[in-house]
Amino acid sequence: MYLERIILHDFKNIADATVDLSPRINCISGANGTGKTNLLDAVYYLSMTKSYFSASDQFVLRHGCEEAVLTGFYRMDGGLSEKFSAVVRKGSKTLIRGAKAYGRLADHIGLLPVVMIAPSDGALINDTGEERRKYLNAMISQVDREYLRHIQAYNALLLRRNRILRDGGVDLLLDTVSEQMAPHADYVHAARRQFCTELSPIAERFVRRISASEESVSLTYRSNMAEQSFIEIMEANREKDRALGFTLGGPQRDELHLQLDGYPLRKCGSQGQQKTFLIALKLAQHEFMRERYRLSPILLLDDVFDKLDMQRVENLVSMVADDGFGQIFLTDSNKVRLDTVVDRFHRESAHFFARDGQYNRI
């Protein structure tokens, strides 16, 4: 599966653009603020029905515009070509496959698998556990539609339980909602634990290939459900929950610990080591998804060369140039570096120069 052509109208700084793409490697160079990242974000949006960077759709509309339209023509597994469009307005959006709009956006997630690596991924290391839980949710939802259903149902019930706590509701009502939450919590916990267990050794393998060293990295999933059932946690925390007005235990408190040689990556890893870990984590995600789908997700690499020495850059590009990685998008403000490194490892590439939301093939 790969994206053959993308047409954008009033998306971020892109007024109107049509880009015909290579099925393998697409290199986008240009100065900062010219639209390199926005092109990748548009590809991500067509897969995930949201921006990689903005929680609100109002920020994907070009300044002064009321509507953005994104259209992608994909060559699907088996050789068929399909058209997908997203129409985004303030307060609403519609996703269309062919000529038919989806009834639920969730039905689209996973159909066009994608993995993105961007500078903002540093939040996975340096920000709160909420960022790491968002990562787990977005990743697992692409390969497990039941997971998406369970996490949405759990979050809706969690909001209800917290309202009951704030309103001083009776124990019977709390218990009823907790029992409704339990099967969803169990599913989410089991899926996250399995995902982290499978992903950790793959990420370590990629770290060693990129760094050409024996650095040891790990992902450790921590959950209060590892030792107690969800219902037991709810019962044990009931009085604390009432005093605080929100639910202390459950999947919304899970953590993902990232370690380098047994120490916290945030405290002990250099900038280069942290970036290497993040890239390796996303490449591991790509391999995990490829094995599940039996096809290669689109790989979006935004400004990945920054903070990496040239040896790590070359090791990274030599890996992703392998056919197992399918279609790739690469951005870099340094055109010479991008062209030189990519052409050294792969000739089947397309090069674009971004300027004011336009992409000229060169």
pLDDT in tens, 221-246: 999 999 999 999 999 999 999 999 99
Q: What is the pLDDT of residue 115?
A: 94
Q: Stretch 195-200: mean pLDDT, rounded? A: 92
The two tokens of residue 212 are 């050409």
Q: Which of 146-160, 255-269, 274-288 has the largest mean confidence?
A: 146-160
Q: State the residue for tokens 């450790």.
A: 220
| Each residue's pLDDT tens digit, 16-38 | 999 999 999 999 999 999 999 99
- Altogether, the residues listed in the chain come to a count of 362
Is the pLDDT at 83 greater than 90, yes or no?
yes
Q: Stretch 172-194: mean pLDDT, rounded? A: 96
Q: Rounded mean pLDDT of the chain?
A: 91
pLDDT band at 295 (very low <50, low <70, confident <90, very high): confident
Q: What is the pLDDT of residue 50?
A: 94
Tally Cβ neighbours within 10 Å of residue 114: 24
Q: What is the pLDDT of residue 54?
A: 85
User: Global pTM?
Assistant: 0.88
As a three-state string, the secondary structure of the chain is: CEEEEEEEEEECCEEEEEEECCCCEEEEECCCCCCHHHHHHHHHHHHHCCCCCCCCHHHHECCCCCEEEEEEEEECCCCCEEEEEEEEECCEEEEEECCEECCCHHHCCCCCCEEEECHHHHHHHHCCHHHHHHHHHHHHHHHCHHHHHHHHHHHHHHHHHHHHHHHCCCHHHHHHHHHHHHHHHHHHHHHHHHHHHHHHHHHHHHHHHHHCCCCCEEEEEECHHHCCCHHHHHHHCHHHHHHHCCCCCCHHHCEEEEEECCEEHHHHCCHHHHHHHHHHHHHHHHHHHHHHHCCCCEEEEECCCCCCCHHHHHHHHHHHCCHHHCCEEEEECCHHHHHHHHHHHCCCEEEEEEECCEEEEC
| Each residue's pLDDT tens digit, 300-316 | 999 988 878 888 888 88
Domains of the chain by start residue, with CATH: 1-113+295-362 (3.40.50.300), 127-292 (1.20.1050.90)
Residue 306 buriedness (CB in 10 A; 0-12 / 13-18 / 19+): middle
pLDDT band at 91 (very low <50, low <70, confident <90, very high): confident
Q: What is the pLDDT of residue 300?
A: 95
